[in-house]
Amino acid sequence: MPILEVQDLKTHYKTDSGRVKAADGISFSLDEGESVGIAGESGCGKTTVIMSLMRLVDQRDIVGGKVILDGESILDMPEDQFRHLRWKKMSLVSQAAMGALNPVFTVGWQIVEAIREHSDMSKKEALGLASELLEQVGIDPSRLHTYPHELSGGMRQRAMIAMALACSPKIVIADEMTTALDVVTQVQILKLFQELQERLNLSVIAISHELPILGQICENIMVMYAGKVVELGPTEVLFREPLHPYTQWLLESLVDIEGPRKAPKGIPGRPPSLLNPPVGCRFAARCRYTKPVCQEQEPPLVEIRKKHSVACHLVAK
């Protein structure tokens, strides 16, 4: 049984101009120890999906769908009940560790608080576990009493990972985990994350605007465009043989640092407004293969081959 099942999730933000359909019918599942990376341009709905899973959006904006976490339906659960599952079953490593860590408390205190909030450990036991967690992420446990501003960017991100692991969750969500870091530190953090993923058999949902980063830590990639999933499949297959024109474009726009020097290729045009998304395929206005049916009918997400689904009229089963 999957550890997480997302079925037709719809998060439509209420604004003065109407509902913004930021995530519009998202479905995917995650097995224990499995990982999925969510890719797409800014505004495609990646963050909305993970914030909805963590129930960190206004619940009135989640207008449809179901999320089953380890056998429990969580969207219709009272907040008091869900608070016990958040961090225990599913935790979040956010992109800005400095903003996520409280600057007025030591890193150790914050980890201890997270542990004690979700367990009946004594302060002494929680302190012992916090030291172990810091060691696991490569921070000397003597730094338990340091404040976030006394740590480097990479160390803060390691501390965030330690906090995310504090309650032994089954799923860790990594939100642009390495975006604010320099390239060398990025490599170290990704390596650490991969090691922990394997050692603890974590299920992972990662989001990043950098496809190569997702390729490094995720065995599956889900590509989103304008609030919809347009392609979902094993990373290796998607990188080798992307089927959706948008995925192809995303991969073509990557800069090959080892190949001959070429100007980076952008994707012309802009995504549609999600206040009133177009009928038919939402990528139609930018697609080089558009045909009349694309403007009339929305392409369904169809499984083309095992674990590889695409939403495009060109790619019929």
What residues line the site for ligand SF4 (CB under 6 A)?
245, 281, 283-284, 287, 289-290, 294, 299, 312-314
Contacting residues for 112 by C-beta, under 8 A, at least 6 apart: 123, 126, 127, 130
Token pair in block for residue 181: 């870091």
We find the least distance from the C-beta atom of residue 220 to ligand SF4, in angstroms, to be: 20
We find the least distance from the C-beta atom of residue 66 to ligand SF4, in angstroms, to be: 27
How many Å is the maximal CA-CA distance in the chain?
Answer: 67
Complex with ligand SF4: residue 193 or 283, whichever CB lies closer:
283
Complex with ligand SF4: residue 28 or 283, whichever CB lies closer:
283
Q: How far from chain centre, in Å, is Cα 218?
A: 10
Query: DSSP assignment, residue 20?
Result: E
Complex with ligand SF4: residue 87 or 283, whichever CB lies closer:
283
We find the least distance from the C-beta atom of residue 10 to ligand SF4, in angstroms, to be: 21
Complex with ligand SF4: residue 38 or 281, whichever CB lies closer:
281
Handedness of CA 278, 282, 284, 285 (dihedral sign): positive
Complex with ligand SF4: residue 93 or 223, whichever CB lies closer:
223
We find the least distance from the C-beta atom of residue 304 to ligand SF4, in angstroms, to be: 13
Amino acid at 229: V
We find the least distance from the C-beta atom of residue 307 to ligand SF4, in angstroms, to be: 20
Complex with ligand SF4: residue 96 or 314, whichever CB lies closer:
314
Of the CA atoms within 13 Å of residue 28, those in its CB half-sphere come to: 31
Query: DSSP assignment, residue 228?
Result: E
Strand partners, 93: 174
CA distance 144 to 288: 54
We find the least distance from the C-beta atom of residue 54 to ligand SF4, in angstroms, to be: 30
Complex with ligand SF4: residue 223 or 281, whichever CB lies closer:
281
- Residue 214 in 3-state DSSP? helix
CA distance 256 to 262: 8
Q: How far from chain centre, in Å, is Cα 303?
A: 22
We find the least distance from the C-beta atom of residue 298 to ligand SF4, in angstroms, to be: 9
